[in-house]
């Protein structure tokens, strides 16, 4: 959600920042811009609405020189996505880029306007530029002005600032939105995440919340919120070109769909004792046998993964679970058991809603266990225990492989809890573990079904509305399918528990509203069959994902079927995720939408 990149060094800075923005574009693509200090140490800017390609064109008209630069790719919150509202914002002798929301901007703006400051944009971010320039005008040094400025800000921010007449100086600050420093040879970088910094530097320091930093080409000084100098660890991040590129695929989403087997396999491998071949998770900050209850929270797809986790934990580990989307749980204020467990799920580890719940629950003495793809993220640093998935960078805005990796961790967690709570005997445990170990190869088989799924996609692409049906543990997979379709093809889709159809939504059924059923023969199949027959009797067009046995029973009911390998009911939700995501991808291709960067969206949503 908004990407920031900055450099201070000895080489022309614009191409470096531009390429950094390319790697950050998944965080927002409403507009983009770069500001540099030119040979006279004056700020020059180039900005463009829309995607980075527009900025590339604009840069041909307005080339920027200089070795100190900041850049930004925007997901609009305050102010329309116009060139005028694009970052960097300039006021007097400073330029800034900002990710987040300045919650007290209206009040600050009014104060600044009373002092004669003229605002040129509708953004909250411009306030930061004016405040900074105002502090400079009061005679403060850039460093002191930066500190004085951030102390006045409320809300969430990651900011990068450059100053006229101060070539070779770049200042960054973060509170509630991520920012990292990359160490180069005679140059330093700022970036919203390690992806931006990856080809530039393998040595990265993540700023803690409240930190701010002063970068010169050959030095870095970090301060905390009290203004005291602090040391933060330098981590080695080795992302390969293959991990951050498309690797020959047309879209990141296509590449990431093909990475399901590896993401599942690597994630499970990490949680498995190689000698006993038993699932073994790191020591918990509590004894799972003593837990009275657990809370699960997340947003979007990660929330649906949590819903599957609830089914598993309740049915197999007999652990009662309270689950809600983070933006609701945050303000619902349910009573929590003393020293209970809160399980948070997030690909990015930066989602503001989920992070807000983490902090609220921590304040209520809950032990925080997070399932994360980016383990060095803010959530990772603030959790009591991180269960890392090994999905690799996920760049397409719509989540794919992170979802099956999240489910793999949740399955492993369930087996561990069930063993410790005495609800699973050894034979059952072995059976479940084996079904997990077989999954990567079944997932690879499903990747061979693109052609069959494309036939279904042709029907869906004609529709205005689509219903997804699932039952039990496959209900969240129906929800994931509907979300993915909405997100990237812009076709309206809703997911219903199939048994709920007759309580209302069945009135929507006619031949123009395809019904997509997630129907493995192992999970409440007879009930699902009856529900599909009810839909069929009313002229519904039934498209089913099932297995060989299910396919026999669905003959004459389903108009189209995609037949998946037979798997144990335990892992069916993981396997059935893959074809519903492929379906959305294929529909999006037919509709010609922007698959990796769907309209209005951004990855890593760092605002509430």
Which parts of this chain interact with ligand F6R (CB under 6 A)?
299-302, 346-348, 351, 354, 398-399, 483-484, 487, 604-605
Min dist. Cβ of residue 17 to ligand F6R (A)? 25
What's the CA gap between 291 and 284, in Å, rounded?
A: 11
- DSSP annotation string for 68-91: EEEEEEE--SSS-S-STTPSPEEE
501, 469 in Cβ contact below 8 A?
A: yes
Min dist. Cβ of residue 134 to ligand F6R (A)? 36
What's the CA gap between 28 and 374, in Å, rounded?
A: 18
- DSSP annotation string for 513-549: SEEEEE--TTSSHHHHHHHHHHHHHTT-EEEEEEEHH
Q: Which is nearer to ligand F6R, 403 or 570 (by Cβ)?
A: 403
Min dist. Cβ of residue 528 to ligand F6R (A)? 25
Catalytic residue, candidates 2, 46, 213, 299: 2
Q: Which is nearer to ligand F6R, 470 or 550 (by Cβ)?
A: 470
Cis status of the peptide bond prior to 35, with omega within 30 of 0: no
Q: Which is nearer to ligand F6R, 149 or 297 (by Cβ)?
A: 297
Q: Which is nearer to ligand F6R, 351 or 416 (by Cβ)?
A: 351
Min dist. Cβ of residue 559 to ligand F6R (A)? 27
What's the CA gap between 158 and 96, in Å, rounded?
A: 10
Exposure of 32 by Cβ count < 10 A (0-12 exposed, 13-18 middle, 19+ buried)?
A: buried
Q: Which is nearer to ligand F6R, 257 or 302 (by Cβ)?
A: 302
Q: Which is nearer to ligand F6R, 531 or 606 (by Cβ)?
A: 606
130, 117 in Cβ contact below 8 A?
A: yes
**348 backbone dihedrals φ, ψ, rounded to 5°:** -80, -30
Min dist. Cβ of residue 480 to ligand F6R (A)? 8
Catalytic residue, candidates 90, 401, 484, 603: 603
Angle at 564 between CA 558 and CA 567, to 5 degrees: 120
Which of 404, 406, 395 minimizes the C-alpha distance to 582? 404
Exposure of 124 by Cβ count < 10 A (0-12 exposed, 13-18 middle, 19+ buried)?
A: buried
Exposure of 246 by Cβ count < 10 A (0-12 exposed, 13-18 middle, 19+ buried)?
A: middle
Q: Which is nearer to ligand F6R, 112 or 488 (by Cβ)?
A: 488
Establish whether 603 is a catalytic residue: yes
Min dist. Cβ of residue 345 to ligand F6R (A)? 7
Exposure of 242 by Cβ count < 10 A (0-12 exposed, 13-18 middle, 19+ buried)?
A: exposed
How much helix, strand and coil, in percent to the nearest 5, is found in the chain? 40, 25, 35
Min dist. Cβ of residue 375 to ligand F6R (A)? 13
Residue nearest ligand F6R, Cβ-based: 300
**Which residues are known catalytic residues?**
2, 603
């Amino acid at each position: 959600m908004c990407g920031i990149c900055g450099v201070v060094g000895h080489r022309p800075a614009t191409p470096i920042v531009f390429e950094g923005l390319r790697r950050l574009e998944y965080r927002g693509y409403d507009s983009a811009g770069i500001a540099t200090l030119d040979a006279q140490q004056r700020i020059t800017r180039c900005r463009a609405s829309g995607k980075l390609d527009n900025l590339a064109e604009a840069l041909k008209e307005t080339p920027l020189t200089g070795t100190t630069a900041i850049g930004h790719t925007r997901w609009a919150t305050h102010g329309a996505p116009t060139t005028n509202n694009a970052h960097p914002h300039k006021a007097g002798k400073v330029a800034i880029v900002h990710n987040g929301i300045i919650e007290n901007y209206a009040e600050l703006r009014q104060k600044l306007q009373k002092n004669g400051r003229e605002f040129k944009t509708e953004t909250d971010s411009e306030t930061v530029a004016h405040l900074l320039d105002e502090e400079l005008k009061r005679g403060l040094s850039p460093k002191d002005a930066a500190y004085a400025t951030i102390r006045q800000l409320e809300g969430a921010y990651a900011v990068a600032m450059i100053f006229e007449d101060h070539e070779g100086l770049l200042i960054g600050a973060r509170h509630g939105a991520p920012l990292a420093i990359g160490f180069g040879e005679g140059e330093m970088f700022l970036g919203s995440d390690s992806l931006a910094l990856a080809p530039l530097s393998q040595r990265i320091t993540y700023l803690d919340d409240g930190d701010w930093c002063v970068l010169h080409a050959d030095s870095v000084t970090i301060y905390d919120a009290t203004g005291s100098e602090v040391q933060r660890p330098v981590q080695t991040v080795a992302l390969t070109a293959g991990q951050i590129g498309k690797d020959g695929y047309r879209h990141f989403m296509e590449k990431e769909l093909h990475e399901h087997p590896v993401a599942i396999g690597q994630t499970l491998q990490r949680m498995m004792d190689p000698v006993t071949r038993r699932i073994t998770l790191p020591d918990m900050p509590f004894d799972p046998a003593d837990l009275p209850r657990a809370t699960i929270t997340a947003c979007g797809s990660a929330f649906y993964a949590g819903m599957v986790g609830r089914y598993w934990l309740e049915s197999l580990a007999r652990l009662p679970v309270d689950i809600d989307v983070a933006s609701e749980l945050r303000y619902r204020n349910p009573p929590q058991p003393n020293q209970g467990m809160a399980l948070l799920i997030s690909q990015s580890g930066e989602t503001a809603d989920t992070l807000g719940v983490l902090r609220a629950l921590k304040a209520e003495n809950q032990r925080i266990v997070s399932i994360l793809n980016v383990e060095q993220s803010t959530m990772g640093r603030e959790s009591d225990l991180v269960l890392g998935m090994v999905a690799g960078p996920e760049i397409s805005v719509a989540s794919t492989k992170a979802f099956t990796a999240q489910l793999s961790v949740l399955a492993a967690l369930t087996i561990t809890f069930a063993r410790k709570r005495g609800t699973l005997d050894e034979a059952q445990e072995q059976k479940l573990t084996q079904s997990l170990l077989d999954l990567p190869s079944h997932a690879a088989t499903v990747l061979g079904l693109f052609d069959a799924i494309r036939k279904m996609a042709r029907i869906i692409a004609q529709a205005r509305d689509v219903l997804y049906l699932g039952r039990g543990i496959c209900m969240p997979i129906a929800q994931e399918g509907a979300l993915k379709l909405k997100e990237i093809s812009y076709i309206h889709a809703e997911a219903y528990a199939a048994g709920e159809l007759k309580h209302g939504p069945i009135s929507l059924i006619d031949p123009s509203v395809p019904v997509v059923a997630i129907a493995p023969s192992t999970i409440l199949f007879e009930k699902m069959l009856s529900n599909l027959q009810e839909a069929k009797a009313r002229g519904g067009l039934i498209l089913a994902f099932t297995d060989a046995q299910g396919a026999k029973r669905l003959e004459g009911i389903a108009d189209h079927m995609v037949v998946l390998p037979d798997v144990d009911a335990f892992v069916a939700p993981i396997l059935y995720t893959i074809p519903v995501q492929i379906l959305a991808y294929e529909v999006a291709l037919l509709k010609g939408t922007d698959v990796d960067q769907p309209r209005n969206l951004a990855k890593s949503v760092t605002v509430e």
